[in-house]
Amino acid sequence: MSDRTAECAEPQRRSIGAKRNPATAEAILTAAQELLREKGVKGLTMEAVARRARAGKATLYKWWPTRGALLVAVYERSKGDYAHEDKGALIDTIAAFYHHVFDFWKTPEGQVFALIIAEAQSDADVAEALERYREERLATLAEVVGWSLARGELIEGVQAEALAEAIMAVAWMRLMTGRLDSDAERLAHEVLDGWIVGKR
Amino acid sequence: MSDRTAECAEPQRRSIGAKRNPATAEAILTAAQELLREKGVKGLTMEAVARRARAGKATLYKWWPTRGALLVAVYERSKGDYAHEDKGALIDTIAAFYHHVFDFWKTPEGQVFALIIAEAQSDADVAEALERYREERLATLAEVVGWSLARGELIEGVQAEALAEAIMAVAWMRLMTGRLDSDAERLAHEVLDGWIVGKR
DNA sequence: ACATAACGAAACGCACCGTTCCCTTTGGAG
DNA sequence: CTCCAAAGGGAACGGTGCGTTTCGTTATGT
């Protein structure tokens, strides 16, 4: 369980004066990402990250005071900005969305998201960051539902946010219970068919 | 941060011979529950539980080899067996269900469930236990949906399991994001209205 | 009567935590 | 130009939890 060999990279890196060294931030985030990829969650300790990045622990704690803060930083660094693609029918748009997130969540970078949700259960700062992120993603998803609503695709009385939440919730649950091998299109149907005009 | 006073209860408790001492199991689970209640997640350490229960760590590890196992045991000890109550209309049955779980999840005992989901993200044993539990709860929920289906309450082509998953997923998401103050009835409508005959 | 097993207690080495020193580097203010 | 302030690496600190081991005690079941 102790793997002290070659844990450090890059020859040297010193202070560049009385201002923050971008290379340090870079090295630390990269180290965190690598550790996550190589040793999983348990491998991501402040100690190990500092070692691998050849950074002082003091430096690390200065910029990322908690493990949660580091997790969030790593996630925000690795996630691309997914823009929903309007496929004409809501069902296809959502199927594409499911397909995309499931694929991403399966990657080492994407797995961080599950860890963030987990960490949020015991770290208030992470919980707050997660909540902001959830609201942001919910809003864009609700917007997509809005497009469909405007097209008259959905039955009367649908609230975009409510439906968007159901769409998100099912994805999150699949993530938390390790069932990302789902058929995205089938899942989209299971969640949406009830709300689409003419599907009854 | 060090609170060594009165961490231990009960005067004495020794071996009762070559068989498991029920009082020990009792004392350990109680200690775990109390620590959880008093100090939150972080307070629940194998070390602290052993101290409080006046138990040897060896004993603790013998019966609950990981923190996750202990968490699951605590949860299973405290949760009552909720039986869905058929209110006639599915919407009312689910509203009652939401009301019940949200109330329970707000209690210190119920909060353990969120921790189990979190722990499952990094502990395979907990993940397996959670998956068994999820399947069990999904089945009973699907049964409830089945009642409704048999009454002709729902539109054609509904798959009981799929709808049950959506119902569960929304509840779980509310839990993971700390929004248990929801209006159960309203939420039930938001999730179900699309699937009910005559609601379009 | 005796092997067997559970129990409490204490100690072990190890790892990580979060903080604190110390010294070096270098930009920017005076 | 000088020197202070801030950033950086490195090393060590005490503290705490982990998981294991060792020991002596207790009492069952055969």
Contacts of A108 (CB under 8 A, 6+ apart): A33, A36, A37
- Helix spans in B6-85 (H): 22-43, 46-53, 57-63, 67-78
Binary contact (B114, A121; C-beta < 8 A)? yes
Task: Yes or no: say if A174 and A182 are a contact pair by the CB < 8 Å rule.
Answer: yes
- Looking at domain B78-195, its CATH class is mainly alpha
Residues B159-192 pLDDT 10s: 999 999 999 999 999 999 999 999 999 999 999 9
Nearest-CA neighbor of B42 among A41, A127, A119? A119
- Cα separation, A14 vs A18, in Å, equals 12
pLDDT at B1: 41
Q: State both tokens at B79.
A: 């949760």
Residues in Cβ contact with A123 at an 8 Å cutoff, skipping those fewer than 6 apart: A66, A67, A68
- How many CA atoms does the CB half-sphere of B116 hold within 13 Å? 25
Domains of chain A, by residue range, sit at: 22-65, 80-195
Nearest residue to C19 via alpha carbon and C1': A58
Indicate the SS3 state at residue A101: helix
B165 close to B156: Cβ distance less than 8 angstroms: no
- Is residue A191 predicted with pLDDT exceeding 50? yes
Is the pLDDT at A161 greater than 80? The verdict is yes
* Distance, first Cα to last Cα, chain B: 58
- Judged by CB atoms closer than 8 Å, whether chains meet at B165 and A166 is answered as no
> How does pLDDT run across B65-91, given as a tens digit for each residue?
999 999 999 999 998 889 999 999 999
- CA distance to partner chain A, nearest, from residue B63 (Å): 23
Cβ under 8 Å to A: B residues 40-69: 40-42
Q: What is the mean pLDDT of chain A?
A: 92
* CB-based contacts of B120, cutoff 8 Å, min separation 6: A176, A177, B68, B126, B127, B129, B130
Protein-contacted positions of strand C (CB under 7 Å): 3-11, 14-22, 24-28
Residue A11: per-residue pLDDT? 55
Q: Which positions ≥6 away from B39 have C-beta within 8 Å?
A: B48
Q: Residues B40-50: pLDDT tens digits?
A: 888 999 999 99
Task: Give me the amino acid identity at B158.
Answer: V
- Taking each helix axis from N to C end, the angle separating A124-150 and A67-78, rounded to the nearest 10 degrees, works out to 30
Total residue length of chain B: 200
pLDDT at A200 over 60: no
Q: Which CATH architecture has domain A80-195?
A: Orthogonal Bundle (1.10)
Contact call for residues B93 and B142 (beta carbons, < 8 A): no
| Beta carbons within 8 Å of A96's beta carbon, 6+ residues apart | A84, A85, A87, A184
Q: Does domain A22-65 have CATH number 1.10.10.60?
A: yes
The answer to whether B17 CB is within 7 Å of strand C is: yes
